[in-house]
Amino acid sequence: MHIFDPGVISDFNEFLQNPTNENVMMYLKAHLDYSIKLQCGRQNDKIEIRIELPHMYPLLENAIVIVHTPLLTKNKEIYLKKELELYIESMDKTETYIYQVLSWLQDYIDDLIQKKASEFEVISTTTTTTNHEEEMLDFERLWIYSHHIKSKTKRQEIVKEARNLELSGFSRPGKPGIICVEGTKENTQEFWRTIRAYGWQKISLCKIESARKPRDKLDKLRRFEGFKEQLFCDDIESNDGVMNMALFLKYLENHNSGYMKKELFGLE
């Protein structure tokens, strides 16, 4: 078991010692986010299960459970995700249920591995022939603020992850570090879960913007074309990462996001 932010446990303990309304904002900023590796298949291959427990779990909020494994084809992964969501919905929400979910996953993935990939081709075809004009999806734009983004590895992973998830937006390395991603809510939330586990001095969601639209109109909500790293520096060779505020504010205005200067920096 790996807890991505061990400091969360200390925050929870601090809150439990003095559970006041003021301490809710101070200590309950992050969710418990961890991963567990299970053995599956005849070769005892390991799969990674990523679990996030919202503060209102299990009564009012469902656990977020994501499976990472190379053992399943894409069609099988799609099928597993839908079945997992249904299984979690069926659980008794008056009790914690992660153990039951893990046991179910271990058995279910074993069965999926044994089944022929051809059995799931119909599922894929059915999905792609759905009337996309009528299918409603959740669009989301996340504005993320970090104390700094300097690591070349982090910078590369941020761009890679955003593009893999077909998100648009930008990443501004340096101090402060600012990231904006937009796309389907499923993908923006997966991006946020992934990058915040990298290990940061401080990182937080500054603003969340959401809308629900038909699939064929979703891209019209995007303000950015693709995902790129933007420096906003006078000297592109500079290593100190000092932002040229005028360049950044102009960039925001050009992408219909000028209001974010107040959200990010408190500027009117």
Q: In this structure, what CATH number is given to the domain that contains residue 194?
A: 3.30.70.100
| Residues 102, 186 share a domain | no
Q: Would the pTM count as exceeding 0.85?
A: no
Of 51, 84, 119, which residue sits at a domain end?
119
Q: Does residue 213 form part of some domain?
A: yes
199 belongs to a structural domain: yes
Q: Are residues 246 and 140 in the same domain?
A: yes
Residues 260 and 144 in one domain: yes
248 and 202 co-located in one domain:
yes
Q: Look at residue 123 in the predicted model and tell me its pLDDT.
A: 45
Whose CA is closest to 196, among 52, 29, 5, 37? 5
2 assigned to some structural domain = no
pLDDT value of residue 42: 66
Does residue 189 sit in the same domain as residue 246? yes
Instruction: Answer whether residue 24 is part of any domain.
Output: no
Each residue's pLDDT, cut to its tens digit, for the chain (268 residues) gives 888 777 777 877 877 887 776 666 555 666 788 889 988 766 677 888 988 887 788 988 888 888 888 888 878 887 888 899 899 989 999 999 999 999 999 899 988 888 887 777 644 444 444 555 568 899 999 999 998 888 887 888 899 889 989 999 999 998 889 999 999 998 999 899 888 877 677 889 999 999 999 988 999 999 999 999 998 876 545 545 577 889 999 999 999 999 999 999 887 6
Flag whether 49 is in a domain.
yes
Q: Can you tell me the distance from the alpha carbon of 155 to that of 173, in angstroms, rounded to the nearest whole number?
A: 7
Specify the pLDDT at position 125. 43
Number of domains into which the chain is organized: 2
CATH of the domain at 61: 3.10.110.10
Last residue in a domain, options 119, 152, 180: 119
Residue at 126 is within a domain: no
DSSP helix, strand, coil percent of the chain (3-state; round to 5): 40, 25, 35
* Parent domain of 232: 136-265
Are residues 153 and 209 both part of a single domain?
yes
Q: Are residues 214 and 146 in the same domain?
A: yes
pLDDT value of residue 234: 61
On whether both 114 and 140 belong to a single domain, the answer is no
Predicted pLDDT of residue 126: 46
58 and 164 share one domain: no
Query: Please, which residues have CB within 8 angstroms of residue 59's CB and are 6 or more apart in sequence?
Result: 93, 94
Query: Are 182 and 259 found together in one domain?
Result: yes
